[in-house]
Amino acid sequence: MSAVAYESLYTHGFARVAAAVPHLKPADPTFNGERTLGLIRRAAERHAALVVFPELGLSGYAIDDLLQQDALNDAVELALGEIVAASRELAPVIIVGGPLRAQGGLFNTGFVIHRGRILGAVPKSYLPEYREYYEERQFRAAREFVGADVEILGQTVPFGNDLVFEASDLVGFAIHAEVCEDVWVPVPPSTFGALAGATILANLSASNITIGKADFRRTLCAAQSGRCIASYIYTAAGQGESTNDLAWDGQAMIFENGDNVAEAERFAEDEQLLFADLDLHRMLSDRSSTNSYGDSIHDHRERIAAFRHVRFELGARPEQLALERTIERFPYVPADAKTRDERCYEVYNIQVHGLEQRLRATGIKKAVIGVSGGLDSTHALIVIARAMDRLGLPRENILAYTMPGFATSDHTKGNAWKLMEALGVTAKEIDITASAQQMLADLEHPYSRGEKVYDITFENVQAGERTSHLFRLANYQGGLVIGTGDLSELALGWSTYGVGDQMSHYAVNASVPKTLISFMLRWAIDTHQFGDDVNVVLQSVLDTEISPELIPGDGDKPTADSESKVGPYELQDFFLFYILRFGYRPSKVAFMAEHAWGEKYSRADIKHWLEVFLDRFFRLSQFKRTAIPNAPKVGSGGSLSPRGDWRAPSDATGAAWLEELRRNVP
């Protein structure tokens, strides 16, 4: 794969789509067709693969009995013919709405057009006939059509709500269309379209506006997108529709697996053309891993088997096309402040309630924890403090120990002491240097003879001594050892196996990535979960470089921070999310990382640290993850517990992933 191909969004399973809200004139198909064509050309200039228009956009929706006039329908056919002819030179798949005369009746139809061909026509399935709606006066429903095809502009066209339009040259680009009311019913036609393979569900709507209706539409579309594990494109009539008795807001929205990824201005003065770069692989990945989705296909197999698949080629697409999509730098941490606060609140309380239940179930009333003054142990300690509060137990029941070793800095030890004192826990210090020195001597390690050999044994002896002390203290004091290691460390194997910092009786942080822990400490400060004296320490911890503090350095500073060895956690958490949650190819993850982090990290940096991640994640670390203690899963981003979310062999290799990255990322 060339560097040029690497830089194309289509190469990596994204597809640009558009929802259009043109100006129109009631019962003026010539004008409406011209406005529609103008927006199609604009969508083509932006390299959209699909553009969707409102219901009855060629005729106008609120024109009542004019729909049954032959002159009006002749004009619609002429306008449709102009669009079909123009589409020969335009790349997008086009879906426009208009009335269609067939079998002596009139059908409210979405026409699916590509490169001079009408791929199919989709009649509205459910005609509203309540309150302000009188559609059965003019139209017949899809179920009333007899047969499978219809003649339109000299073409024999598949006709029905059982059509999936599938590109043969872009994996996952498969479309199902429905019309307005169809999504308001208990079982929308698009549900079956999705089960039949459509990843993009399009709704051509008119939908007049009333108080509160816009929010309800969002709810409907988001829910349908989420249930169907699909994208949902919704576009409604706007300026120009008849306001005899109704009003129109031109709401256009694009959802992806329940997430609102784009929304146009409502009541806009100008025509709207809303774009989104959809991640097709996201839908395919989630469908593949959600067995209940397959069960639904089985339960409706007769109807799904009857679906017709209309295949076509999208054709040439730009070899260089920038991704126009917000890729959050911190996928585990919402960018929106309100949502982020809600996420931190929820994760914190999941951890607290998990620990609370474990203490209640065991009847143990004390917790034992090692406090280093770093991010993980700080967060674990405030989780324990809140759990004790909820159980009505004194914080003195938290037995917290700071255990300085050969490279512990006065700064981190000072933070540990300040935090323990501010929280009012039982705080003690056990210096492990003597016991670690004895262990090194027993091993005949060079360090015990005065040589400055700081190898992995030197590091792990210290980690093991700390954990050994904590377990024996728990035995002696009748407590539960609370683990502090986080999801990022588990992913990278950045923990000591066996009787080391990986082990505990209950691990509150094991499915919380390090980037989220940082934000959660900020949240604890901002929301005043504890007093000002605690907040001061939390801020100091946040300001401290992340280090295991195992190798002595000059003065009061260890020789190396963790990120110099395993890579920046902000990048590694990014890689972890997309590989664990969606199983993306490394080249796609690199492409997305460059889009998100390109201002800070070069492509070479991203590729290097992704190689480190892939090797550590797939080859080096699984044997540790198979033996992690119980820990609550906190998010859909994934857990690495072999009992909760991730099962893999301990003797695998990362060769396939590394080869894919090196082959496809220049």
CA 60 to CA 140: how far, in whole Å?
A: 17
344 assigned to active site:
no
Helices (H), 173-290: 189-195, 213-227, 280-289
Q: Is 485 annotated as a binding residue?
A: no
Question: 370 labelled as ligand-binding?
Answer: yes
Distances (CA, A) of 51 to 28, 97, 272, 389, 410: 21, 12, 12, 55, 62
372 is in an annotated binding site: yes
User: What backbone torsions phi and psi does residue 122 show, to the nearest 5 degrees?
Assistant: -115, 110
Q: Is 129 annotated as a binding residue?
A: no
Please enumerate in sequence order all residues whose Cβ is within 8 A of that of 364, keeping only pairs 6 or more positions apart, or say none: 478, 479, 480
> Is 514 annotated as a binding-site member?
no
Alpha-carbon distance values, 558 to 267, 436, 462, 545 (Å): 60, 17, 14, 10
Is 376 assigned to a binding site?
yes
244 labelled ligand-binding: no
User: Is 377 annotated to bind ligand?
Assistant: yes
> Does the annotation place 447 within a ligand binding site?
no
Residue 545, annotated as binding a ligand: no
Strand 14-21, strand 272-279: pairing:
antiparallel
Three-class secondary structure assignment of 330-390: CCCCCCCHHHHHHHHHHHHHHHHHHHHHHHHHHCCCCEEEECCCCHHHHHHHHHHHHHHHH
366 is an annotated ligand-binding site residue:
no
Show the tokens assigned to 196: 């039949």
- Starting at the earlier edge strand, list the strands of the sheet with 93-102: 117-123, 105-114, 93-102, 50-52, 14-21, 272-279
612 labeled binding residue: no
- Specify the 3-state DSSP secondary structure of 85: helix
Is 130 annotated to bind a ligand? Reply is yes
Say if residue 109 carries a ligand binding annotation: no
97 assigned ligand-binding residue: no
Instruction: Tell me which of 7, 124, 344, 588 is the catalytic residue.
Output: 124
Does 450 count as an annotated binding residue?
no
CB 33 within 8 A of CB 58: yes
DSSP 8-state assignment for residue 326: -
Residue 243 assigned ligand-binding role: no
| Ligand-binding site membership of 373 (annotated) | yes
Spatial separation of the C-alpha atoms in residues 500 and 463, rounded to whole Å = 5
Tokens of 280: 């097709």
| Catalytic residue (one of 7, 55, 356, 611) | 55
**How many Cβ atoms from other residues are within 10 Å of residue 236's Cβ?**
29
Of these residues, 180, 221, 228, 344, which one is catalytic?
180
Ligand-binding annotation for 104, yes or no, is no
Opening angle at CA 84, ends 79 and 88, nearest 5: 145
Please enumerate, by residue number, every residue annotated as part of a binding site for L-glutamine: 130, 207, 213
Q: What are the residue numbers of the active site? A: 55, 124, 180
Annotated binding-site ranges for ATP: 370-377, 484
Q: Residues forming the annotated binding site for deamido-NAD(+)?
A: 460, 489, 494-497, 624
Residues belonging to the binding site are: 130, 207, 213, 370-377, 460, 484, 489, 494-497, 624
